[in-house]
Amino acid sequence: MRLPYYAPMLATAGVVPQNDAQWNYEVKFDGIRAIAYLADELRILSRNNKDITTAWPELAPLAPSNPPFVVDGEIVTLDADGRSSFGALQSRMHQRNPARIRSLVATTPATYMIFDLLHIGDRSLIDLPYQQRRKLLEQLNLRGPHWQTPPRLSGPGATVLSESRRLGFEGIVCKRLDSPYVPGRRSPLWLKVKNIRDLEIIIVGWKPGTGRRAGHIGSLLMAVHAQTGELTYIGNVGTGFTQSMLNDLRVKLQPLERRTATIDADVADAVWVEPELVGEVTFTDWTGDGRLRHPSWRGLRSDKVSRDVKMPLSDH
């Protein structure tokens, strides 16, 4: 049976709802969004519709399945306390060499956190309410060495968020019990509430380092698309890198270098690049002139495309 394609439904940034009786809550995991298609074999597609199946061989035993089905979830790496670690995931995200992948599976195994059921047999479930889809998903009992179905939690939502903060999780996702699954759209029926501030950014250039970073990247120049569409400079990030991250960035940025400035910004000694690579940073706040305050690098996001990286409405 040929399973239909489903683009992932996206959550809107927001606050914990007041009417707890209409919502369930889930832990927000810090990983790679992935839709899995299970039939005779497993096929995994990323948020931007790339086939990433070969990158995650430890998930292959999910298949075969009869009846076939489609699930939504997040691929993560877990630390000793069960928290997802985006930093640890970096070594896996961009790797496509089979021998290297096999080595990394042993040292940095992935876990697929499955949180929604979109299709089973010959029936699409996306028009069913979230609560019913979750009950059907839980009946499948998808638990194994590298996959699980995390619990859905009841309110009070403020208590769930507070507990997620105490345990060191990134935040929670609030989902309306009656919400259908809306493929490819960002919906207020799903709300993401974070304990930390982070932002997807576009790399538009870099500045050479000094001291121990002489001859390497010192900082990355960041931009996002304003709500009106133009690319807008939001500052530099120079902390949070490992040496392997800097080496990888240099390799990926070199073929993107250009002679003219990528954006209108008063930056000296910059090496400009085409605005193609997407990364993620944490930060404390925005400055009065529209720059990120105390940004720290988290890693590249190969599952995101630069045209979708926009200034959050909640910030500006």
Active site residues: 28
**Dihedral over Cα of 263, 265, 271, 276: its sign:** negative
User: What are the residue ranges of helices labelled H in 74-185?
Assistant: 86-93, 98-107, 130-140, 157-166
User: Do 71 and 59 meet the contact criterion of CB atoms below 8 Å apart?
Assistant: no
User: What's the CA dihedral at 269, 273, 278, 280 to 10 degrees?
Assistant: -10
Half-sphere exposure of 3 (CA within 13 A, CB side): 28
The span from the CA of 196 to the CA of 84, in Å, is 14
Q: How far is CA 50 from CA 65, 81, 157, 261, in A?
A: 22, 31, 34, 30
Give kind and range of the element (H or E) at residue 244. Answer: helix 243-253
Kind of pairing, strands 171-176 and 186-194?
antiparallel
List the beta bridge partners of residue 246. Answer: none
Euclidean distance between CA atoms 95 and 90, whole angstroms:
9
For residue 32, which of 78, 89, 115, 71 has the smallest C-alpha distance?
89
In whole angstroms, give the CA distance from residue 21 to residue 2. Answer: 38
Using DSSP bridges, classify how beta strands 186-194 and 10-13 pair: parallel, antiparallel or unpaired: parallel
- Cα–Cα distance for residue pair 170/6, rounded to 1 Å: 26
End-to-end distance of the chain based on CA atoms, in angstroms?
Answer: 47
